[in-house]
Structure 1
């Protein structure tokens, strides 16, 4: 079992990010967190908004220097703005793309020098809605389709220097849906994944030996409506 080392996780205060923080810690690794709010657990972190690329880059640098480097980065932080294109405000629509796509790129860009020194790994977080488009989700689909393209280009660009895995998760039982209008929330009996199970797939990607990479992983409930 490979040592995970120091793993930077965006959105680590809740949801899949928090589940991965726990999984990394339980596996003997050192989790670091960037989030808009302080994590409830006692974990090293910097509070920053990923919609602000400069703030995101600065947070990566601060945590990496504090930890003496990075061995891996996982980027599950995300947001959405459900609704028809004409009904979603420009500010809300743009924020989704800034956080989900541009924020991901900013974090990875800032982490690259550290990861190249450690021959580390990146796990990006796309979505089944980065592969299958649906109505009332133009911002989210645009951002996650962008993460798919970014991840594949990053893997080509950094081949042999760092490992790159793209995670494509389906729906999970997290607070991600809490702020949505009722019509956009999963029904009470929805069969969604436990984020703790998805976190284990992240660890699986990070534990691959040097020269072996899991390029892409789709992880979803067996009855996921957005896959295939």
Structure 2
């Protein structure tokens, strides 16, 4: 029996990854903040799937859930650190609490997830799969919190891989471009952010369908690869990484002033985007 834990499993990327793993006979433990959504995903994942409501930034609660998952299944072989949120807008006008929350969930939440589940992964010589993003390779304006968090989780995963290799634990990083999820659709509700993104150099401006992206990620995950790409062209972005900041800066000089003014005129919305962001706000305010 193989057991996989997926954080941020209530919807979008995490939910579909859990479903694809379950299709391959893997027992899935679903972690997230939305109990009704988690229950629906667990039902679709079939017998053996179970879910826990937990905030990945709550180390005590996460450690307790890790113990419960281990007790239920007897082992944990795969952990997918997928939980993530996003906000948009210029740093100067950002809400400090929202900006910091993105860093806390995306980066610190991944570290907390690893800390909670590594003892079980050491026992099984398992695999920790960190969801990063094109944002780790290509930092865009008006996305500083998200880009910083995803660059952070990429570096975190590389450090973790070096630490745990001696114990037989593998660590992979998953990269994906803009993908059709609630988070991206939520960001696109802000016209200025949407148009700014569409102004990025191709192919980084396109939104990609979710299922093929997840199929690529799951295939690489099951092969325990150190780097997995949701779109075929993303490895080239790693090669071009040294020149990307200059390209993005030149593009921003041409376009950003108009986008910034439009964003402020529309109300300078600094919310967490998408339904997952709303769920995080609700949980954080409790």
Higher helix residue share? 2
- State the shift of 1:12 in Å: 0.8
For 1:119, the equivalent position in structure 2 comes to: 125
For 2:251, the equivalent position in structure 1 comes to: none
Runs of 4 or more, structure 1, over 3 Å off, are: none
Q: CA–CA distance in 1 between the matches of 2:84 and 2:148?
A: 13
1:98-117 CA distances to partner (integer Å, 9 max, x unpaired)? Answer: 11011011111111110111
| 2:226 corresponds to which of 209, 215, 221 | 215
For 1:33, the equivalent position in structure 2 comes to: 30
Q: Which has the larger radius of gyration?
A: 2
Q: Report if the CA contact (8 A) 2:59-2:116 is conserved.
A: no
Query: What are the equivalent positions in structure 2 for 1:16-27 lying under 5 Å apart?
Result: 16-27=13-24
Q: CA–CA distance in 1 between the matches of 2:209 and 2:69?
A: 28
Query: Unaligned 5+ residue runs, structure 2?
Result: 44-48, 199-204, 241-286
2:153 matches 1:147: yes
For 1:95, the equivalent position in structure 2 comes to: 101
Q: CA–CA distance in 2 between the matches of 1:133 and 1:117?
A: 37
2:206 matches 1:197: no
For 2:284, the equivalent position in structure 1 comes to: none
Q: CA–CA distance in 1 between the matches of 2:175 and 2:120?
A: 25
Query: What are the equivalent positions in structure 2 for 1:167-206 lying under 5 Å apart?
Result: 167-180=174-187, 181-185=190-194, 191-206=206-221
Q: CA–CA distance in 1 between the matches of 2:135 and 2:89?
A: 15
The number of aligned residues is 218
Task: Give 3-state SS (helix, strand or coil) of 1:214's partner.
Answer: coil
Task: Give 3-state SS (helix, strand or coil) of 1:159's partner.
Answer: helix
For 2:6, the equivalent position in structure 1 comes to: 9
Distance 1:184-1:65 versus aligned 2 partners, 3 A rule: farther
TM-score (norm 2): 0.70
Q: Report if the CA contact (8 A) 1:97-1:139 is conserved.
A: yes
- State the shift of 1:197 in Å: 2.0
Query: Unaligned 5+ residue runs, structure 1?
Result: none
Q: Report if the CA contact (8 A) 1:148-1:166 is conserved.
A: yes
Task: Give 3-state SS (helix, strand or coil) of 1:83's partner.
Answer: coil
Q: CA–CA distance in 2 between the matches of 1:10 and 1:28?
A: 19
Q: CA–CA distance in 2 between the matches of 1:51 and 1:61?
A: 16
Q: Report if the CA contact (8 A) 2:180-2:208 is conserved.
A: yes
Q: CA–CA distance in 2 between the matches of 1:177 and 1:130?
A: 16
Q: CA–CA distance in 2 between the matches of 1:47 and 1:200?
A: 26
Q: CA–CA distance in 1 between the matches of 2:96 and 2:57?
A: 14
2:77 matches 1:68: no
1:138-189 CA distances to partner (integer Å, 9 max, x unpaired)? Answer: 11111111101101001111114201111111111110124332322366xx
Q: CA–CA distance in 2 between the matches of 1:123 and 1:81?
A: 23
